[in-house]
């Protein structure tokens, strides 16, 4: 329990630092912020300055930061410089799409990855095992945006089996989710399999068998519990990758989530949106890492002592 609290506390500190860094980077020069609103070269300088002053852009950075943070904590996330919509609304519109996509990919990764990894380990050497491993290696070799485009080409353009983009129906979700899950799934299967096999011939497994413990308990209780540790550690890494790739996949499949919003906001120089969305994603990543560590500590008691380094 104490471990969980300290870990979360540390995560909050990191989130704070992250927000500072992001804010500083994006607001480094007020000129760049307003260039999306006013055409700086043609507007008279006095108008520009007046605008800056009224929007608090001439205040020292820490003050601006304070305004921003207090706004966030009261629910005011600013306004889009391009569309004039409240950023909070933009977030609300797109966050569920991203959650759906990322969530589906997550489910596919672990829901399929762990059982298949265990199955491959338990049937080691069989054709099933070999097929799984070959597929995993093959998938890992292809960068996921290439995979995405190839999938669109084959399945949408030539075979007309699945739609190429949009988010209208369930079938729109299939390709993006599968492509997104492809790489983490492959890694999960591999790691799960290797870890499981290693633990099947571990010393403690031999001891358990020497005591006459039934094989099903040895395998499904003891070995699995020990083998899952590395997969959880990998999972933490994967969540981060998953979120990052979601950006890419959303754009490719025109999936209206946070990713497309974020990329568009950067290209349109809509800083307020960029800032909030970036922070949102970064916060989720940091929290995910903290939760992953806590989950690991529940499974492997040694982690609680060493603070995350078994």
Partner 1 sequence: MAIAPALTGQPVGHRERGLLRTLTSRANIAWVIGSLILLSAGAVGVIIQVVPSLRHLYLNQDLEATLKPPLSPHHLLGTDNLGRDLGWQLIAGLGTSLAIGIGVALLSVVLGLIVGIFGGFFGRAADAVANVVVDVTWAFPAILLAVVLAGWIGPSLTTVILALALTNWAGFARIVRGEVLSLRERDFVNAARVLGVPKVLISVRHLASNLVPVTIVLTVYFIATSIIGEAGLTFLGLGIQPPMPSMGETLSTGREYISESWWPVILPGVLLVIIVLFLNGLGDHLRGQLDPRGRVQRR
Partner 2 sequence: MTSDLLPDVPASSPDTAVSALEISSLQVSLQGRQASTSLVTDVSLAVAPGEIVGLVGESGSGKSLTALACMGLLPRGVVIAAGDVRLSGVSLVGMERKKLRALRGSAISMIFQDPLTSLDPCARIGSQIVETILAHRDVTAAEARKDAVELLDRVGIPRATERMRAYPHEFSGGMRQRVMIAAALVLRPRVLIADEPTTALDVTTQAGIVELVLELRRELGMAVVWISHDLGLIGQLADRVAVMYAGEVVEMAGMRDLFVTPRHPYTHGLIDSARRGEYGELFGFIRGNVAEPGHWAAGCRFAPRCERVVAGCEQHPELRPLDQASVRCINPMTRDGAQ
Select from 55, 67, 240, 304 the one that contacts partner 1 (CB under 8 A).
240
Shortest Å, Cβ 221 to partner 2: 8
CB-based contact 132:292 (threshold 8 Å): no
The footprint of partner 2 on residues 152-211 (CB under 8 A) is 201-204, 206-211
Q: Residue 285, CB half-sphere, CA atoms under 13 Å: how many?
A: 19
Cα dihedral 13→260→37→73 (10° resolution): -30
Which range in 75-83, 85-93, 199-207, 275-283 contacts partner 1 by CB under 8 A? 275-283
| Closest CA relative to residue 249, chosen from 154, 186, 167, 159 | 167
Does residue 141 belong to the site contacting partner 1 (CB under 8 A)? yes
Beta bridge partners of 79: 86
What contacts 228, CB < 8 A, 6 or more positions away?
114, 192, 195, 299
What, of partner 1, partner 2, none, does residue 212 touch, CB below 5 to 8 Å by kind? Answer: partner 2
Shortest Å, Cβ 152 to partner 1: 7
CB-based contact 105:180 (threshold 8 Å): yes
Shortest Å, Cβ 203 to partner 2: 4
How far is C-alpha 255 from the geometric centre of its chain's CA atoms? 16
Does residue 126 belong to the site contacting partner 2 (CB under 8 A)? no
CB-based contact 157:84 (threshold 8 Å): no
Q: Helix or strand or coil: residue 159? A: coil
Two structure tokens written together for 207: 């001891």
Shortest Å, Cβ 228 to partner 2: 9
C-alpha dist (Å) from residue 247 to 110, 124, 183, 198, 301: 20, 37, 15, 36, 36
Shortest Å, Cβ 304 to partner 2: 9
Select from 285, 294, 296, 303 the one that contacts partner 1 (CB under 8 A).
285
Does residue 244 belong to the site contacting partner 1 (CB under 8 A)? yes
What, of partner 1, partner 2, none, does residue 211 touch, CB below 5 to 8 Å by kind? Answer: partner 2
Select from 15, 120, 182, 218 the one that contacts partner 1 (CB under 8 A).
15
Length of the chain: 310
Positions touching partner 1 (CB under 8 A) are 10, 13-15, 17-18, 21-22, 25-26, 28, 32, 141-143, 145-146, 149-150, 152-153, 157, 187, 237, 240-241, 243-245, 247-248, 251-252, 262-263, 266-267, 269, 271, 274-275, 278, 281-283, 285-286, 289
Positions touching partner 2 (CB under 8 A) are 201-204, 206-215, 217, 222, 225-226, 299-302, 305
């Amino acid at each position: 329990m104490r471990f969980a609290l300290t870990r979360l506390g540390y995560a909050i500190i990191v989130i704070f630092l992250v927000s500072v860094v992001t804010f500083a980077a994006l607001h480094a020069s007020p000129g760049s912020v307003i260039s999306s609103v006013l055409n700086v070269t043609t507007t008279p300088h006095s108008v520009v300055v007046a605008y800056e002053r009224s929007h608090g852009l001439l205040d020292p950075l820490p003050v601006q930061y304070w305004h921003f943070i207090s706004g966030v904590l009261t629910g005011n996330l600013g306004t889009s410089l391009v569309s004039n919509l409240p950023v909070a609304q933009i977030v609300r519109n797109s966050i569920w799409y991203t959650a759906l996509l990322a969530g589906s990919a997550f489910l596919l990764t672990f829901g399929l990855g762990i059982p298949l990894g265990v199955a491959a380990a338990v049937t080691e050497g069989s054709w099933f095992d070999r097929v799984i491993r070959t597929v995993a290696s093959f998938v890992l070799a292809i960068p996921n945006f290439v995979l995405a485009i190839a999938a669109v080409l084959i399945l949408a353009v030539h075979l007309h089996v699945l739609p190429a983009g949009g988010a209208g129906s369930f079938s729109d979700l299939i390709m993006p989710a599968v492509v997104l899950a492809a790489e983490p799934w492959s890694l999960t299967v591999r790691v799960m399999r290797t870890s499981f096999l290693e633990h099947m011939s571990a010393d403690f497994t031999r001891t358990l068998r020497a005591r006459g413990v039934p094989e099903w308990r040895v395998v499904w209780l003891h070995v699995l519990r020990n083998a899952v540790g590395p997969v959880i550690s990998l999972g933490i890494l994967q969540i981060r990758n998953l979120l990052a790739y979601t950006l890419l996949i959303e754009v490719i499949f025109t999936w209206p989530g946070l990713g497309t919003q974020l990329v568009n906001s950067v290209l349109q120089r809509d800083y307020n949106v960029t800032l909030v969305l970036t922070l949102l994603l970064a916060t989720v990543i940091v929290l995910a890492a903290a939760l992953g560590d806590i989950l690991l500590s529940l499974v492997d008691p040694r982690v609680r002592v060493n603070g995350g380094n078994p």
